[in-house]
Structure 1
Amino acid sequence: MRAIEERLAARLAQLRADRGWSLDDLADRSGVSRSTLSRVERGEISPTASLLGKLCTAYERPMSRLLTEVEAEGPQLVRAPEQTVWTDDDSGFTRRSVSPPHPAFRAEVVEGTLRPGADIRYDAPSVPGLEQHVWVLAGSVEVTADGATHPLGQGDCLRFRLWGPTRFRCPGPAAARYLLVLVMP
């Protein structure tokens, strides 16, 4: 297991312990089975983007914040080869933390890549009112927010606040690469 996955498993277990929740409590709050939660916290399986989205909703934090929390306190500058990359092979999603990690700042920049056909759905916002800017660098992506689907091509930028379910889908034929700017409310 890679070091980031080990730290992620430990952080998820710590978040649950900090709240005094049992695995059953977290299963009720997240809609994820108790056995899956247990395996994720023990590092036996790597969580998918969808599963992390459900856990982030239960813990009321954006996924980018959760992943930043498993990184060491960083410097002001993070060179490209040192940026944390997380991949969900099942869904076809790769996420690069572009911004130097720091929990005190409200904004973050994330690079996302979706392979053709990738379709990621988040049932609820991790942080209601979280502001997002999606700027497509290559390919195309469909973003559904607030019940409206927005087809985005290279150079297009969509801004919205998260209040309900969202979906990121790459219709292909090429992979979609985009920057996501997250601003805490």
Structure 2
Amino acid sequence: MREPEPSPEDLRLAARLAGLRAEHAWSLDDLAARSGVSRSTLSRLERAEISPTAAQLGRLCSAYGRTMSRLLAEVEAEPPQLLRAADQPVWQDTASGFVRRSVSPPHAGLRGELIEGTLRPAAAIDYDAPPVPGLEQHLWVLDGTLEITVRGESHLLAAGDCLRFRLWGPSRFHCPGPDPVRYVIAVVLP
């Protein structure tokens, strides 16, 4: 079975990942050691042979000291001041069931952004480390239930609940179901 052709977004992301590694003068082995993503997977990601999962992208963002939003914004055109719902960039990780909408993408000179996330029932995403230590986040659940673990403490959030925290270590997002969870994260860079 032949692999599907990469989308233009996948090609730009692959090129940016290769460019970041070159900017840091890291070999594939160096980046693999820093990110925990295998050398062969990194090579395939940089050639757009595969799309990264949310967890892989999270590990790479940690290695490069960037938020996922910042990295994804780097492969987009300069964002406009007004971003209509139909024009908001959407990224999907089919493996984990995670859909990420960049409601208010990062922009030079601004420290905040808004992200809408959706997880299907029983889906979970584990992040080994924050992309930027001390990253401030405000997570507001719109629909469904979300179990989030921060600093080793689990919080079960229902629609309308908000959790505020600074991210210093691993985190886990889990949708216990029975319905999908939809939430908004306000990210404020330190």
* Fold in common (TM above 0.5): yes
Q: Output the CA distance in 2 between the equivalents of 1:87 and 1:138.
A: 19
1:49-94 deviation line (CA, Å, top 9, x unaligned): 0000110110011111111111110110011111100000000100
Structure 1: gaps of 5 or more residues = none
Query: Equivalent residue for 1:86?
Result: 91
Query: Equivalent residue for 1:139?
Result: 144
Residues 132 and 182 of structure 1 are in contact (CA less than 8 Å); yes or no, is this contact kept in structure 2?
A: yes
Q: Output the CA distance in 2 between the equivalents of 1:132 and 1:144.
A: 13
Q: Output the CA distance in 2 between the equivalents of 1:149 and 1:101.
A: 28
SS at structure 1 position matched to 2:104:
coil
2:49 to 34, 44, 52: 44
Residues 50 and 122 of structure 1 are in contact (CA less than 8 Å); yes or no, is this contact kept in structure 2?
A: yes
Structure 2: gaps of 5 or more residues = 1-5
1:102-151 deviation line (CA, Å, top 9, x unaligned): 13311000000000011100011110000011100000101100110010
SS at structure 1 position matched to 2:30:
helix
Does 1:166 pair with 2:138?
A: no
Query: Equivalent residue for 1:180?
Result: 185
Residues 134 and 179 of structure 1 are in contact (CA less than 8 Å); yes or no, is this contact kept in structure 2?
A: yes
Q: 1:119 to 1:184 in 2, by over 3 A?
A: same
Query: Equivalent residue for 1:151?
Result: 156
Query: Equivalent residue for 1:117?
Result: 122
Query: What is the deviation of 1:100?
Result: 4.2
Query: What is the deviation of 1:101?
Result: 4.2
Structure 1 runs (4+) greater than 6 angstroms displaced: none
Provide the aligned length of Structure 1 versus Structure 2. Answer: 185
SS at structure 2 position matched to 1:171:
coil
1:150-180 deviation line (CA, Å, top 9, x unaligned): 1000000000000010000000000000001
Q: Match for 2:12: what amino acid?
A: R
TM-score norm. by structure 2 comes to 0.95
TM-score norm. by structure 1 comes to 0.98
Query: Equivalent residue for 2:102?
Result: 97
Q: Output the CA distance in 2 between the equivalents of 1:62 and 1:100.
A: 11
Q: Match for 1:45: what amino acid?
A: I
Residues 77 and 100 of structure 1 are in contact (CA less than 8 Å); yes or no, is this contact kept in structure 2?
A: no
Query: Equivalent residue for 2:26?
Result: 21
